[in-house]
Amino acid sequence: MKTIKFPEVSQWSVLSKRPSLTESEVNKTVSSILQDVLNEGDVALLELTETLDKCKLSNLQVSRKEFLAAKNKISQKLKTAIQTAFNNIEKFHLSQREVPQRIETTKGVFCWRKSIPIERVGLYIPGGLAPLFSTLLMLGIPAKIAGCKSIAICTPPNKKGDIDPAILYVASLLGIDEIYKVGGAQAIASLAYGTKTIQKVNKIFGPGNQFVTKAKEIVSSEGTAIDMPAGASEVLIIADEEANPEFIAADLLSQAEHGIDSQVVFVTDNINIINCVKHNISKQLLTLPRRDIITKALESTLFILFKSIEECFAFSNQYAPEHLIIALESYEKYVDMITNAGSVFLGQYACESAGDYASGTNHTLPTNAHAKSYSGVSLDSFMKKITFQTITIEGIQNLGPTIEILAEAEKLIAHKNAVTIRLNTINNEK
């Protein structure tokens, strides 16, 4: 937990730097996995699952029986909590639907856009330390609202060949019955290239470790769309002396428990609150089961003291954090200063966990400063917008001469001709 006092603006870019991965080894492993799946299909998936997940499968796809069994393994308490989160996420993503607007740009020239679902999407749900059924809620709900015709889920099985019942339960709630027991880069390969069992998809969503991330990067450069480039999870908190150091410590710790590469940054204009937050971190840490991971993550944590709250916001915009918590009572005064962030949490009670699980916003967000140019996952991510136009006889008479002049200036005479032929035909028919 380093504390930096009053850094010069020239130092900000170094302070904003995320650790870079040593890539070449990952690149080689992932390329070879992708090639295997491309060449050998299901056989490669079964072999890789045996080697990497230590699990010998006879079937890649989850059976109806497994779905039914899962339902009984989930407590009523968890079912109710999942339903509450489901409703909030659904409500917020439903509000993102757009009503097509038909615009008459010139008399007789009508243009509009229509959102159309991406036909088939693949959702990657990581296994690893914990079953992330919340990620399935965050991806599955907008996919369903968008109207994607077919949705495939890939998630790694445990050593017994089972998928966590909470993931199966959420899939049932969503009405998704196509789940494959495949994880890692091989899952991304199967979704991008297709195998006998797994039909290829048009777009791949979901987080994962560095192998999954690299695989998504490669298949994306080959033409399969992906949700966004990925990196380690991040939070930046801005607070002043009036903020509650106990709350801030808890929020910093919740970010740190994601993994040893989690990026945790605290910025303020007050040195006392830095000391109080550090004290609270040490205290709270003792009770947390993931304290080993957290302690490692905290090694690179930055506490930065700036001269003013305005400077804190300027730095935050340069850092462009995935999660930005504004722990200020007077946040309304500052909210318009925010230009780069994935998702913003305003005030004392909007903790990051709320957005991670249940408030309604999506938790799949741009990391690694990509918030400067990318948005988080939303309803839009599962649709593409097609533009339409229609032109009446009056419309082509009004706009045609303009098109002719512009096409000629670009020396595209066949473009001009497509208008001229129409105008001549209209004139001859008069």
Residue 370, marked binder: no
Rg (CA), the chain: 26
Which candidate in 93, 323, 363, 370 is catalytic? 323
**CB neighbours of 213 closer than 8 A, spacing ≥ 6?**
229, 230, 231
Distance CA 271, CA 257 (A): 25
Question: Which CB, 64 or 77, lies closer to a copy of itself?
Answer: 77
Residue 162, marked binder: no
CA distances from 222 to 28, 196, 219 (A): 16, 20, 5
User: Smallest gap, in angstroms, from Cβ of residue 42 to a copy of itself?
Assistant: 20
Token reading at 381: 């991510």
Residue 279, marked binder: no
User: Smallest gap, in angstroms, from Cβ of residue 356 to a copy of itself?
Assistant: 6
**CB neighbours of 382 closer than 8 A, spacing ≥ 6?**
117, 118, 121, 142, 143, 145, 146, 148, 203
Distance CA 396, CA 391 (A): 6
CA distances from 389 to 109, 111, 265, 374 (A): 7, 4, 49, 29
Question: Which CB, 211 or 305, lies closer to a copy of itself?
Answer: 211
Question: Which CB, 46 or 125, lies closer to a copy of itself?
Answer: 125
**CB neighbours of 404 closer than 8 A, spacing ≥ 6?**
416, 419, 420
Distance CA 253, CA 251 (A): 5
Which candidate in 93, 234, 311, 322 is catalytic? 322
* Residue 25 falls in the annotated catalytic set: no
* Residue 322 falls in the annotated catalytic set: yes
CA distances from 249 to 3, 239, 253, 264, 303 (A): 15, 11, 6, 11, 12
Question: Which CB, 61 or 150, lies closer to a copy of itself?
Answer: 150
Residue 83, marked binder: no
Q: Are 67 and 165 in contact (CB under 8 A)?
A: no
User: Smallest gap, in angstroms, from Cβ of residue 339 to a copy of itself?
Assistant: 6
Q: Are 207 and 342 in contact (CB under 8 A)?
A: no
Nearest to 362 by CA among 334, 322, 332, 395: 322
Residue 76, marked binder: no
Residue 255, marked binder: yes
Token reading at 223: 């033409």
User: Smallest gap, in angstroms, from Cβ of residue 294 to a copy of itself?
Assistant: 7
Question: Which CB, 181 or 416, lies closer to a copy of itself?
Answer: 416
Residue 300, marked binder: no
User: Smallest gap, in angstroms, from Cβ of residue 403 to a copy of itself?
Assistant: 5
Q: Where are the beta strands (DSSP E) in 132-194?
A: 150-154, 179-180
Distance CA 287, CA 27 (A): 38
User: Smallest gap, in angstroms, from Cβ of residue 164 to a copy of itself?
Assistant: 10
User: Smallest gap, in angstroms, from Cβ of residue 148 to a copy of itself?
Assistant: 11
Residue 398, marked binder: no
Distance CA 198, CA 192 (A): 10
Question: Which CB, 310 or 408, lies closer to a copy of itself?
Answer: 408
Question: Which CB, 154 or 407, lies closer to a copy of itself?
Answer: 407
Strands 383-391 and 109-117, bridge-based pairing:
antiparallel
CA atoms in the 13 A half-sphere facing the CB of 418: 7
Residue 415, marked binder: yes
Question: Which residues line the annotated binding site for Zn(2+)?
Answer: 255, 258, 356, 415
- The residues assigned a catalytic role are 322-323
Question: Which residues line the annotated binding site?
Answer: 124, 186, 209, 233, 255, 258, 323, 356, 410, 415
